[in-house]
Amino acid sequence: MSFSQDVWARNLDLYQATVNHPFNQELAAGTLDKDAFIHYVIQDAHYLLAYGRSLAVTGAKAYHPDDVIQFTEGAKGAIVVERSLHDGFMADFGISQAQFENTPLSMACHHYVSFLQATAWSETFPVVLAALLPCYWIYAQVGNDIVAKSAPNNPYQKWVDTYVSDEFQQAVEKVLQTIDKLAENADANTLEKMHAAYTRGAELEWLFWDSAYKRETWPHMIK
């Protein structure tokens, strides 16, 4: 069994909780509260900048030239997507630049990016990649699982289409191939760390959506 097959099986219940979360189910039905989606988009833009930085560090730690290219280009892609959010979803949903800039990272987003950046700087290439994998893989799978349920004239259809696109799906498959090759040569301690890193990343993916659905803020911001 490959690492990707094993880690997916170990975390299947967590994935089911994610895809069945009301945020994703209501997004597919087109009934998700607009304010919840706005919360999500703003936090996602903050997240993607940090994710891009983590990918850049991953590229620097990669063992082979092709992997360096893969993840430094991935870092660039994350920043390009972050910028496109401003002209795409943010414009569509009336989110101003000032609103984005004046909205701090949510508790969930702050936790997630802190975990990724700490892992990127402190761990080995295989462990870092395992921590980053849920953002690639879970988004691709959620997109695949909800696209058939997407309502006609869904106001969130562009979001769904982003993650079922051939370009994104192919990028995810390439990452899976890379991590499986790394796992084949990893010792038991490294494999254990890879599994732990993936699980924590997957938990934080669920938390990110849950936080957006609840439109959570920091305690000092509650009025």
Please report the pLDDT score of residue 1 as a whole number: 92
- Over 80: is that where the pLDDT of 191 sits? yes
- Over 90: is that where the pLDDT of 223 sits? no
Is 17 inside a domain boundary? Answer: yes
Is 222 inside a domain boundary? Answer: no
pTM over 0.85: yes
Is 74 inside a domain boundary? Answer: yes
Confidence of residue 82 (pLDDT cuts 50, 70, 90): low
Is 220 inside a domain boundary? Answer: no
Count structural domains, the chain: 1
The full length of the chain comes to 223
Is 223 inside a domain boundary? Answer: no
| Gyration radius of the chain over CA positions | 17
Is 190 inside a domain boundary? Answer: yes
Report the amino acid identity of residue 200.
Answer: R
- Over 90: is that where the pLDDT of 4 sits? yes
Is 52 inside a domain boundary? Answer: yes
The values of phi and psi at residue 30, to 5°, are 80, 15
Evaluate whether 132 touches 61 at the Cβ level (below 8 Å): no
* CA–CA separation, 14 and 55 (whole Å): 24
Domain that holds residue 66: 3-215
Evaluate whether 55 touches 75 at the Cβ level (below 8 Å): yes
* CA–CA separation, 182 and 137 (whole Å): 17
The values of phi and psi at residue 217, to 5°, are -130, 170
Q: Which CATH number does the domain housing residue 93 bear?
A: 1.20.910.10
Is 221 inside a domain boundary? Answer: no
